Amino acid sequence: MRKVSEFLIEHGKPSREVYLDHENSGWVPPEVVNEMLPYFNQKGYGHPSITNRPGWEAYEVLESTLELVGRTLNVSDGELIITHSGTESNNLAIKGAALARTDKERYKIIVSAIEHPSVIFPARTLEEHGFKLVTIPVDNEGFVDPEMLEALIDEKTFMVSIQAVNHEIGTIQNLEELVKIVKERDEKIIFHTDASDAYARIPLDVKKLGIDMMTISSHKIHGPKGVGLLYVDKKIKIKSILDGALSTQRFWPGVENVPALAGFRKAVELAFTDFEKIVERMKVLRDRLIDGIIEKVPDVLLNGPRGEKRAPDNVNVSFLHVEGESITIELSTRGVYVSSGSACTSRVLEPSHVILAIGRRYEEAHGSILFKISRYHTEGDIEYALSQIPPAIQRLRTISPLGREIMEEAVD
């Protein structure tokens, strides 16, 4: 197998780079990095639960971060649990609530067909312990049918978990309507939402929505990796899924990542400064990228909805007659960095379950590319990407057996 270092040496660094892979991970701005640095060796390097000055300084970071996030979600900081990632938060929500369950007659978990793997897999694990997993299908834009959800709910239903925004195709679910349906049927059913791709992109008022549990993640908003949060309504009972020495967090033992929390706090502050202005600007860039690809590249399919029903940072397109992995490599040599298929399974040669769930064929799913806009992108970045995407796809189609076959048929 060819070494990555050999590829990097051979191709060198492009003259211009546009990073559009913020779904996987992303660039952390200098303000966030500078906020983190003192907590490695100047202050707050102590254990947050220990009563000495470095420990108090560390605990202050935790307190202030939770207070700030609580204000953005309209919840109290006492309802927020610190974890180390969105994946950990989703696992704690689903498995922790299952462990705390007192009514053993409730064993049914409903999730949508396009949930993140960190929701689907824990739910599947619970099937091994007597729970029943029911997957609700979505339409061709990724929306859950409210009537179908209502039909699936019964007296056995324990939990419903439906994303606020889909991580691949940007579908913004009507959470308020879905929560209302669930709660009107049975107040005891727990409603969890993974809002990792919604937080700081769309307004989220947890109390207004009526959500019981909500997941968010630092690295999805230009914060550092290593921080996740789980909101748990005070009336919901959960148990820890990890055993160890308890720190400041009742349900998540271990030492908190204080430098990362300081960075996350700054990232939240930046994200919610001129929030509406930032979001509107991202929408303009998003639509320019979508329209430009459709205009300049033949045989493409937009995955997910248009307009206000789509997350402001999301563009997902299937390029027909060429594979997604080839596209990511080709665009990378041109300084445009994207991801193929599911960002969480891109090293596995399986098509995205999300793209298949909205009715795309396997070959269409294999050619799907995810672009993520950020508040740091410029019009020039988008125009550069649009200058590189058409020739990249054209070149790949000329060397792809399927692409050549299609082109020959068109000429004939």
Map tokens 């294999």 to a residue.
Answer: 366
State how far Cα 229 lies from the chain centre. Answer: 13
Distance (Å) of CA 250 to CA 187, 193, 215, 242, 322: 25, 21, 17, 11, 49
240 as an active site residue: the answer is: no
* Measured distance CA(349)–CA(167) in Å, rounded: 19
Closest alpha carbon to 291 in 177, 173, 386, 396: 386
* Measured distance CA(105)–CA(131) in Å, rounded: 10
Pairing of strands 314-319, 300-302: antiparallel
Pairing of strands 368-372, 339-340: antiparallel
* Measured distance CA(217)–CA(231) in Å, rounded: 11
Catalytic residue, chosen from 99, 181, 255, 344, is 344
Classify residue 123 as exposed, middle or buried by CB count within 10 Å of its CB (0-12, 13-18, 19+). Answer: buried
Closest alpha carbon to 24 in 346, 252, 263, 364: 346
Lateral strand order in the sheet of 300-302: 300-302, 314-319, 368-372, 339-340
C-alpha angle with apex 168: 83 to 402, nearest 5 degrees?
140
* Measured distance CA(250)–CA(322) in Å, rounded: 49
Q: Where are the beta strands (DSSP E) in 67-131?
A: 80-83, 108-112
Tell me which residues are annotated as active site.
344
